[in-house]
A and B are shown apart, each in its own frame.
Chain A
Amino acid sequence: MANHAQTGDRMQLPDVKCRQSTSAMRFLRSFLTVALLLSSFVIVSSQPGHAIPAFARKYGLPCSACHIGWPILNVFGQQFRDNGYQIGNERDSPIYQNPSYWPITFRVTPQWHLESQTKVAVDPTLTTPGGEQTITNHGFDLSGLDIWTAGTLYKNISFSVLPSMAEGDTFHFENAWVRFDNLLNSPWLNFKFGKFELDTLLSEKRFLTLSNVGGSWYNYHFLPQGDINGFGGIGDNQIGIELMGHSKNSYARYSIAMLSSVDGNPGLTSAGQGGTARTYDVYANLNEGFQVRGLGVQRVGVFGYFGRSPTYFLTQTVDGVTTPIQAKGSKSFSRVGAYGWWFLKALDIETLYMHGQDSVYLGNGVAGNDPGALPAGAVGPTWNGGFVEAHYTVNPQFIFTGRYELVHMSRQANPTLAATPNLGNVDSFTIGYRWYPIMFSRAGLAFHNEYAQAKTGNTSILTGSDQTIRSVLIGFDFDY
């Protein structure tokens, strides 16, 4: 709404309009200069990639065998992953493996980044009044550390363990699973057990953006304002069991998973979220690839997540400390969507549409045993979202990326919220590139540059106006 008012102002003030158009020209000039410089940089500095990063060194293959550009998988990479980290020829045999080979990778990203947010409510100080202002912080930093090991325990038994730690945090298991592959000698039967990434071709774990704003897909984590759903989104790894199958070339794939309603948090006997839930969620994904003459494999798919989330907890108080001991009043929610991954030779474009819906109790933050607390006219919130993300692979060592993403509420949870229909809406874009100057047999290194921006509708606390958050990230993403 604030933007509309600004647009109106511009229409009425010719001198401002003139200044704006000059600014726009300056912007375009700057952008083109940057684009030109980057293009020159690419052409001058890029070299053919014959690197052998972490996992592929087991087989003595270049990283480009499995990756369009690390970490995005190409068709063979997807096939290799679906097949339980096995190529399917004699090279899987231990005879071909270097006895000193140990399938472990460390990944961390030292970086300089800038984070900015407009219309942040700040308290008054001795010299400044309180109110809303733009807060910008920048400095050198570290990402979290991933220690990933994966491979095969035996023929057709694969595994993955990924302890991860954010800076200043404790370790947690990002994933830990064992998978029984090719049951009955069929690629259509594979069982995975443990904590794992939900099966999707458009993977947040293998995409190219890392910044605070651009480092996740909003659609995969979105919750309406005031919603108490404990589900962190289909971008979060979940804990449960998955039945998955695929054709030999992994063009046709399906998966169905039964998951504990704990948003991937283990610890059934502990007091945390993982120790209180008693319900199960279901996630299903179906996708198909097909060849288009002259362009390559195109992929389309549909997915759905149907789950339940608690609205209150039975608690226990001992020595004045209250602990939730059982989740109660679980209410339903769903996420359904469709996606496509379109290849035009060196350019590939990912597209996604998603529809989300939460129970009226979750959307209004009301306990399931207290229906009287629901406001008049309360409904389950719904929203729609999607993104278009393009990658241009100059070569396996240099990739440009750009994304536009939005999530818009289609129905707010109650009439009060509906008075500001844009509340919580997200409009975001991200641009960046990754340059892999060296890829040795033991390590990969990417020089990562990214700019991301998102506008959230009417979320500022004091004035209820739109907020804009921005990230600039310059870093070295490496794994060893």
Chain B
Amino acid sequence: MAEAVFEGVFACTRMLPAIGLRRACAICLSILFLCGLCYSRSRDTAGASFSIDLDKPFAEVLSAVSDVAHSGSIKGTFEYRDEEQLNGAQFEEKSQLFPAWSGPGKVLYKVRAKTLSPSHFLNSNDVGTVAVRYVVQELSANSTRLFIDAVFIENARHHGHPSDGYVETCEFGEIGKRLKDRDRVQTQVAAGEQLSPGHESSSRSDTSPPENEPKVNPATSSATARVEVVDSARLADLQRVIGEQRTLLASESAKLDQMEAQARQLRTSEFVRVKADRAELKSLPYAHARVVEALARGQEVTVLSKSTYWYQVRSEDGKEGWISHALLEVQP
């Protein structure tokens, strides 16, 4: 191929006086321009949508997708090498970054503005906005189709960069986790009902009708009415239990998140104390940075991160800042 390139270049060189410098230049620029237009058009539409059919009711899937759309972070992409996700994303009901959705289903968006060349977007460049679109479609009572698309649009060039698929996969992973959590809760609820004596009888009376149905005398209207009363009472009871369990789940999930955050912090935390008579907690790791507060000798602080000469710490009263490591000592 190199020979062909050489041959072409030298053929161009020999023929230039014949064809004329300006004409040759015009041809070159025209070809460049046309190639550019054609190729940019094809690149703009590149990227495949992630879609999956789930054996779940529409409402359940929508609820999980909504949770993820409100999560505040976009998984599967990052700006800086030491990050794992994009934080600071916001839920939006509409987005100009995707063409208007004309198909069926509920559409949700998660958007992160001012993002620097995020990873896992094809030819990502410059600063722009990342948007994730979720489309949830009801196929049947127990089947739902989910589409996920992610795109990065440069602010300056209005140039679109579709995801390489990793972002959508990771986002679906989050949705999958939430769906599994719900399944687990429902299983626990069902198991709880079977174990609960009160529920056991009602459950038995509930499950027995199909078996006992032939035994019930249809002519006995009072018996039918009794069964209906029992059914409606059990339904209300079940709804109450599900409501309670959902509240419990939300509460436990929040606690779990909090504990995980604490665990993460504890894993990296180190407790030190001030060894100087007076140590200034700075807003930034510079000697002349603004003083957040002054700490006295012996005061304990939690180390959040470290640089060579500065520790980022949290004081006992919850204020965070930076202290020169020379003013601190590790607790015995």
Chain A interface residues (CB < 8 Å from chain B): 3, 6, 20, 23-24, 26-28, 30-31, 33-35, 37-39, 41, 48-50, 52, 59-62, 64-65, 67-68, 74-77, 91, 93-95, 97, 99, 155, 293-297, 343-347, 388, 390, 392, 394-396, 400, 402, 404, 427, 429, 431, 449, 451, 453, 455, 470, 472
Given contacts A27-B18, A346-B40, A396-B123, contact A95 B8 (CB under 8 A): no
Size band of the B side of the interface? 35 or more
Q: Restricting to B1-45, which residues have a CB under 8 Å from any CB of A?
A: 1, 4-5, 7-9, 11-19, 21-22, 24-25, 27-29, 31-33, 35-37, 39-40, 43-44
B36, A93: Cβ atoms closer than 8 Å: no
Whole-angstrom CA separation of A331 from B13 in the bound complex: 42
What are 21 pairs between A and B in contact, CB < 8 Å? A23-B15, A30-B8, A31-B11, A34-B8, A35-B35, A37-B1, A37-B8, A38-B5, A41-B1, A48-B122, A64-B125, A68-B125, A75-B156, A76-B127, A94-B308, A95-B310, A95-B322, A97-B307, A427-B22, A429-B21, A470-B13
B156, A345: Cβ atoms closer than 8 Å: no
B12, A451: Cβ atoms closer than 8 Å: yes
A347, B124: Cβ atoms closer than 8 Å: no
A74, B126: Cβ atoms closer than 8 Å: yes
Whole-angstrom CA separation of A67 from B117 in the bound complex: 10
In the complex, what's the smallest C-beta–C-beta distance from A183 to chain B, in angstroms?
A: 16
Whole-angstrom CA separation of A451 from B11 in the bound complex: 12
B157, A345: Cβ atoms closer than 8 Å: yes
Known: A35-B31, A74-B125. 17 other contacts (CB 8 A): A30-B8, A31-B31, A34-B12, A48-B123, A61-B79, A61-B116, A65-B117, A67-B125, A68-B125, A68-B126, A95-B306, A95-B307, A293-B158, A344-B37, A345-B158, A404-B29, A453-B21
Given contacts A60-B82, A429-B24, contact A31 B36 (CB under 8 A): no
In the complex, what's the smallest C-beta–C-beta distance from B212 to chain A, in angstroms?
A: 65
Q: Restricting to B283-324, which residues have a CB under 8 Å from any CB of A?
A: 284-286, 305-310, 312, 322
Whole-angstrom CA separation of A83 from B245 in the bound complex: 54
Q: Which residues of A contact B21 (CB under 8 A)?
A: 427, 429, 453, 455
* A347 interface neighbour in B33, B79, B122, B154, Cβ under 8 Å: B33
Q: Which residues of B contact A427 (CB under 8 A)?
A: 21-22
Q: Restricting to B226-282, which residues have a CB under 8 Å from any CB of A?
A: none
In the complex, what's the smallest C-beta–C-beta distance from A120 to chain B, in angstroms?
A: 17
Q: Quick check: is B51 within 8 A (CB to CB) of the other chain?
A: no
Q: Which residues of A contact B122 (CB under 8 A)?
A: 48, 395
B80, A295: Cβ atoms closer than 8 Å: no
Q: Which residues of A contact B1 (CB under 8 A)?
A: 37, 41
Whole-angstrom CA separation of A295 from B169 in the bound complex: 30
In the complex, what's the smallest C-beta–C-beta distance from B236 to chain A, in angstroms?
A: 54
B8, A64: Cβ atoms closer than 8 Å: no
Q: Which residues of A contact B305 (CB under 8 A)?
A: 95
Q: Which residues of B contact A294 (CB under 8 A)?
A: 158
In the complex, what's the smallest C-beta–C-beta distance from B157 to chain A, in angstroms?
A: 4
In the complex formed, the residue of A with least CB distance to B16 is: A453
In the complex, what's the smallest C-beta–C-beta distance from B275 to chain A, in angstroms?
A: 21
Q: Which residues of B contact A91 (CB under 8 A)?
A: 80
A94, B285: Cβ atoms closer than 8 Å: yes
Given contacts A35-B35, A346-B40, A400-B32, contact A62 B124 (CB under 8 A): yes
Whole-angstrom CA separation of A431 from B18 in the bound complex: 18
Whole-angstrom CA separation of A346 from B307 in the bound complex: 40
Q: Write out, one digit per residue, whether chain B residues 34-60 have a CB within 8 A of any chain A CB (1) or not (0).
A: 011101100110000000000000000
Whole-angstrom CA separation of A99 from B307 in the bound complex: 8
B31, A392: Cβ atoms closer than 8 Å: no
Whole-angstrom CA separation of A472 from B159 in the bound complex: 33
B18, A34: Cβ atoms closer than 8 Å: no
* B158 interface neighbour in A95, A97, A296, Cβ under 8 Å: A296
Q: Restricting to B104-144, which residues have a CB under 8 Å from any CB of A?
A: 116-117, 119, 122-127
